[in-house]
Chains A and B, each alone.
Chain A
Amino acid sequence: MSTDTTTLPVGRYAYDQVDRTFLSQRVAQFREQVARRVAGDLSEDEFKPLRLMNGLYLQLHAYMLRVAVPYGMMGSDQMRALAHIARTYDRDYGHFTTRQNMQFNWIRLEDTPDILELLARVDMHAIQTSGNCIRNVTCDEFAGAAADELLDPRIHAEILRQWSTLHPEFSFLPRKFKIAISGSPHDRVAARFHDIGLVARPGPQGRPVFDVFVGGGLGRTPIIGVKLRDNLPEEDLVAYLEAIVRVYNAYGRRDNMYKARIKILVQALGVEAFREKVDAEFALMNRADYRLDPAIVAGIRARFGIPPLEAPADADRTLAAARRTDPAFDRWVRTNTHPHRHEGFICAVISVKPDGGIPGDITADQMDLVADLADSHSFGEIRVTHMQNVVLGHVRKDQLHELWQKLVAARLATPNIGLVGDIIACPGLDYCALANARSIPIAQKLSARFANPELQERIGPLNINISGCINACGHHHAGHIGILGVDKRGQEFFQLTLGGSAGGDVAIGQILGPALPEDETVDAIARLIDTYLVLRHDNEQFLDTYRRLGAASFKDAVYAPA
């Protein structure tokens, strides 16, 4: 087995023959399941969980395929395969989701086995991107690169991906189950809005330990996860998660799908009783069977390609000089980059949210371009963010200006990361069978309204999150400003929530007042933001102003226009 990590694909786990055999068997299995469905041997009811476990939904107009991008990491070869699928089987588009996956909205059932086969050729799949199983594990988009990172969470994310793949006991849970993992003190994964959120850091002797949060989630009952355990040793990670999911499988409600998530169980039992059950299960387990041996972790780690980070000593100065001469570039560096652990490198965020565009939508040609740029500027490695953007993780500082120029030419250089234009939106009524309202047009109108980059920067950090229904796929509860589509006698209305946050200062947004008609929503939000600009202390962020003043100060602006 090769342990020369410099020849492996950078950033993601490299498949070997065993992993590839598994994938091709899995494709063959799905092909056979589709054939049984077409022949009528499987009813739609029986087929549904099987197709869902391969990422295939039935939506408003067509099937939708959600392709897994495990913990958001992929290679340029994989991105090109996605571009090819978009061109051949969809309408030239793909859509990045908040769980770091890619979604195609116009897929034919009959084509799906072929698509899965194409994916398998580049070591990709759609396994467990939907269904009542442990979903694709998400992690920090700057993992392995960020200056503030304590521990690279991808290794454990991959271990959890493998552990949960066709897990015999947990493939028919009461409901979907989502796990996120972070290795940074700055929570960039919304750990407390997940069924299980893991926060990793080095413990005694540098060995990883985990804080385990459980029972968070959005949906119609938004709940902030509670800490179940501190300092879980690495070797018990799999055992402890088995114990949690086992308790959930045994006791989670199955009579009402809206009450089937683990958050409801944790609330119903109370944290203490829930913890007791998990601890009892954990104590009974034969820990040796589930022990995550250091050798196992080392074996997985060795399958991750490591970028050879070498930059000229003056890379930093070259970048500084370019910033001085080019104000537009300077602005983009301010908004769209993140500090790298290596002083000669930087993480670049490619905004997939052009002014007036559809958040997260990317064309086949843009995918190919991103793949090319990843090859030329980031060791062939690409990351998808839970904000529906793309990251090139390791860009040499002296080459950043050149990268930016290429992005500008491709309309991929919008300087809006973390700002008003960086809107999260679900597919809404344009695609989703469950929607009450269209999320996308609101997102487009808002981003067009605030297109001016100077204005955006002046407004400062502000997350606007939009969901087309109470299921909360667009995370509206976690947005500083949340927008929820509701249906009132066949008319689209939008309810505003304020003060939510998915970060370390986690909070659920509060409903401001009655829902607004569609044609008043954007104006009302603009007035809300104007009011904030008037009320804030210098440079105070929206969230802080809101927390200082409360909702009342904003109500008039929204409901009683001057």
Chain B
Amino acid sequence: MPLLENGQVTQDRWYMAAEGEALPDGAVIVPLARLEEGLARAGDAPLGVIIAPDVDVAALRAALPRLELVAVTFPSFRDGRAFTQARALREHLGFTGEIRATGTPLPDQYEFLLRCGVTTVQTERTEDVSVWQQAHTIISIAYQPSTLHERPQGLGLRRFLS
């Protein structure tokens, strides 16, 4: 599955570093266990980190200013912890870089991902991109505030998406 941004396919400039492998130059995403190593890398090549759903994102606080990307994971679409992580990254830690959803989120969760602060999706699922594009536009109204600060509709907590 290609990388998705705003419902469209986009180019992936990031390299996901595996366990044990030497860190290459350029934009690289490291596992949380190798974050120190990533931060110690010479030069100022873009750095990202991937975290498991049980990580308290506060652990990233010190490193965040130097991170351009945080990848959160959905080991199953049923495991919704990454929604809370993404939102905490935006709201509590003020992270403004890319938040990438990885693993196997469902296309039907796309709007939820975006509203919790995720910007890109790299899913192991195989359906056509059009399903994701459709999921992105099918609901245009929400009933609660989100990290996107959508335009309020005027009554209650309602707001317009898009």
- The chain A residues found within 8 Å of chain B, CB to CB, are 1, 16, 18, 21-22, 25-26, 28-29, 32-33, 36, 41, 46, 49-50, 132, 159, 162-173, 238, 246, 249-250, 254, 284-286, 289-290, 296, 299-300, 303
Q: Does B12 contact A (CB under 8 A)?
A: no
Report A141 CB to chain B, min CB distance, Å. Answer: 24
Where chain A touches its partner, the secondary structure class is helix
Contacts of B85 in A (CB 8 A): 250
3 pairs of A and B residues whose beta carbons are closest in the complex: A172-B80, A168-B115, A168-B112
Bound: A290/B146 CA distance, A = 9
Report A3 CB to chain B, min CB distance, Å. Answer: 11
Closest to A22 in B: B141
Report A502 CB to chain B, min CB distance, Å. Answer: 30
Contact A16 B155 (CB under 8 A): yes
Q: Does B11 contact A (CB under 8 A)?
A: no
- The chain B residues found within 8 Å of chain A, CB to CB, are 56, 77-81, 83-85, 87-88, 91-92, 106, 108-109, 111-116, 127, 131, 134, 138-146, 149, 153-158
Report B148 CB to chain A, min CB distance, Å. Answer: 9
Tally inter-chain residue pairs, CB-CB below 8 A: 117
Contact A296 B140 (CB under 8 A): no
Bound: A285/B144 CA distance, A = 15
Closest to B135 in A: A29
Contact A172 B141 (CB under 8 A): no
Bound: A171/B114 CA distance, A = 14
Bound: A285/B79 CA distance, A = 23
Report B155 CB to chain A, min CB distance, Å. Answer: 5
Contacts of B131 in A (CB 8 A): 36, 41
Contact A168 B141 (CB under 8 A): no
Contact B156 A299 (CB under 8 A): yes
Report B14 CB to chain A, min CB distance, Å. Answer: 25
Bound: A165/B141 CA distance, A = 11
Bound: A163/B111 CA distance, A = 16
Report B119 CB to chain A, min CB distance, Å. Answer: 14
Contact B138 A25 (CB under 8 A): yes
Closest to A1 in B: B155
Contact A168 B146 (CB under 8 A): yes
With A21-B141, A163-B144: A249-B83 Cβ-Cβ less than 8 Å = yes
Report B51 CB to chain A, min CB distance, Å. Answer: 13
Contact check: which of A1, A170, A303 meets B80 at CB < 8 Å?
A170
Contact B139 A26 (CB under 8 A): yes
A-B contacts, 12 listed (Cβ < 8 Å): A29-B138, A41-B131, A46-B106, A49-B77, A163-B157, A164-B144, A170-B80, A172-B77, A172-B78, A172-B109, A238-B144, A296-B157
Contact A169 B134 (CB under 8 A): no
Contact A32 B84 (CB under 8 A): no
With A22-B141, A167-B144, A169-B84: A159-B116 Cβ-Cβ less than 8 Å = no
Bound: A252/B139 CA distance, A = 29
Contacts of B83 in A (CB 8 A): 168-170, 172, 249
Contacts of B140 in A (CB 8 A): 21-22, 25
Bound: A26/B146 CA distance, A = 19
Bound: A238/B108 CA distance, A = 25
Bound: A164/B145 CA distance, A = 11
Contact B112 A169 (CB under 8 A): yes
Report A292 CB to chain B, min CB distance, Å. Answer: 8
Report B146 CB to chain A, min CB distance, Å. Answer: 6
Report A453 CB to chain B, min CB distance, Å. Answer: 46
Closest to A161 in B: B143
Contact B139 A162 (CB under 8 A): no
Closest to A50 in B: B108
Contacts of A285 in B (CB 8 A): 91-92
With A26-B139, A167-B144: A32-B78 Cβ-Cβ less than 8 Å = no
Contact A18 B144 (CB under 8 A): no
Contact A172 B79 (CB under 8 A): yes
Closest to A165 in B: B143
Bound: A36/B158 CA distance, A = 29
Contact B134 A166 (CB under 8 A): no
Contact B156 A168 (CB under 8 A): no
Contacts of A249 in B (CB 8 A): 80-81, 83-84
Bound: A392/B141 CA distance, A = 33
Given contact pairs A1-B154, A18-B158, A170-B83, a sample of 8 additional A-B residue pairs in the complex whose CB atoms are under 8 Å apart: A29-B138, A33-B108, A50-B106, A172-B109, A249-B80, A250-B85, A296-B157, A299-B155
Contact B92 A284 (CB under 8 A): yes
